[in-house]
Amino acid sequence: MSGGSVASGYWNRPSATQETFQAELKDTGEGPFLRTGDLGFFSNGELFVTGRLKDVMIIRGCNHYPQDIELTVQKSHPALRSDCGAAFLVEVKDKERLVIVQEVERSYLRNLDVQEVVGNIFEAVTAQHGLQVYATVLLKTGSIPKTSSGKIQRYTCRTAFLNGSLNVVEDWSEEPSQKAKFRYLQTDIQSLLEKVQTGK
């Protein structure tokens, strides 16, 4: 991107300014251009933005786009809400592992067959993307973090997964300490210990 509306750079951050605001085309040297971080393509003279470069997940040397995996998940079972899921990576023992966070349709909340839903997610992601799911978190309707314009906030979802603050209906993980019930139990035990120690 270039033009009069593009800023000249970051205040007192020359290296970041060079990286983001002063890109040049390799073949012609034309520039400078602003690296927006958007992914897209041209079709019939029109630009279509398809995602963000920072959202691309690299697993075993292959690029995977979260929106593709999210669509696969949402099509895997009717209990899962459209446009209300997030796929992201977490580091586990020096390896990047795939986590799925997904809202459940309100009408399914009371009688949700968690084993069936999670099983369908695993099968679909493995079959269509060749990936193993490390953890799946099913959320209450309307609780997944979104921007004011309705876009999924994947990094906020990742942070909430790691600190245990998602509004969980049920979850599954290879690592028991990543499950919500385990975390709630830890919190309850810690609270009891503090009461015993203070004598209250």
- 24-81: per-residue pLDDT in tens? 777 887 777 766 656 667 888 887 766 565 667 777 787 888 999 999 999 999 999 9
Please report whether residue 59 resides in a domain.
yes
Tens digit of each residue's pLDDT (9 = 90 or more) over 89-101: 998 888 889 999 9
Asked if residue 145 and residue 47 are part of one domain, the reply reads: no
pLDDT of residue 13: 83
Domain presence at residue 102: yes
pLDDT at residue 119 above 50? yes
- pLDDT of residue 121 exceeding 90: yes
Whole-model pTM?
A: 0.70
Q: How many domains does the chain have?
A: 2
CA dist., res. 109 & res. 43, Å (int): 42
Clarify whether residues 43 and 66 are in a common domain.
Answer: no
On whether both 39 and 69 belong to a single domain, the answer is: no
* Same domain membership, residue 59 and residue 41: no
- The reply to whether 6 falls in a domain is no
Q: Do 33 and 66 belong together in one domain? A: no
What pLDDT, on the 0 to 100 scale, is given for residue 43? 86
Mean pLDDT of 79-90: 95
Mark whether 29 and 121 lie in a shared domain.
no
Please give the residue that has the higher pLDDT: either 7 or 4: 7
**Which two structure tokens, joined as six digits, stand for 125?**
């992601």
Q: What would the pLDDT profile of 128-186 be if each residue is shown by its tens digit? A: 999 999 999 999 999 999 999 888 999 999 999 988 899 999 988 877 666 665 454 44
**Are 28 and 89 part of one and the same domain?**
no
Looking at the fold, whether 45 and 67 belong to one and the same domain comes out as: no
Structural domain of 130: 54-185
CATH of the domain at 87: 3.30.300.30
Tell whether the model's pLDDT for residue 192 goes beyond 80.
Answer: no
Based on the domain organization, do 177 and 105 belong to the same domain? yes
Pair 172, 142 in one domain: yes
Residues 147 and 158 placed together within one structural domain of the fold: yes
**What is the per-residue burial (b if ≥16 Cβ within 10 Å, else e) of 58-70?**
ebeeeebbbbebb
- DSSP H helices, the chain, are 14-21, 66-75, 114-129, 154-163, 180-198
**198 in a structural domain:** no
90 and 116 together in one domain: yes
